[in-house]
Amino acid sequence: MKHLKIEEQKAFFTRGENWMVVTDMTKEDLLNLAHAAIEEEDFETDKYDEALLPNPAHKIIYQQINSQLTELHNRRASFQEEVRNIYKDAFNKYCTE
């Protein structure tokens, strides 16, 4: 599913089922996008293209968020394994066999 896009010279992100302009993004929106990047196999964004965004704020926000979410998505397997390892001892301690 696509979560970031560039359309009509503006940058957009998903908020639930709606597309919102990136300048309206909240920290909760960013957290939801990070969660999607980790959890969704088909996480997708439009490639950053400076020529398509005349607004400097849209350029900066989209470029930074797109690169971070893409990196997080590409590292999701190792990230999930790190989380499992952090809680492995507690899980083993309290797990009944």
Number of domains observed in the structure of the chain: 1
**pLDDT tens-digit series, residues 36-81:** 999 999 999 999 999 999 999 999 999 999 999 999 999 988 888 8
| Alpha carbons 27 and 7: distance in angstroms, whole number | 23
Domain with 75, as residue range(s), is 2-94
**pLDDT tens-digit series, residues 2-32:** 999 999 999 999 999 999 999 999 999 999 9
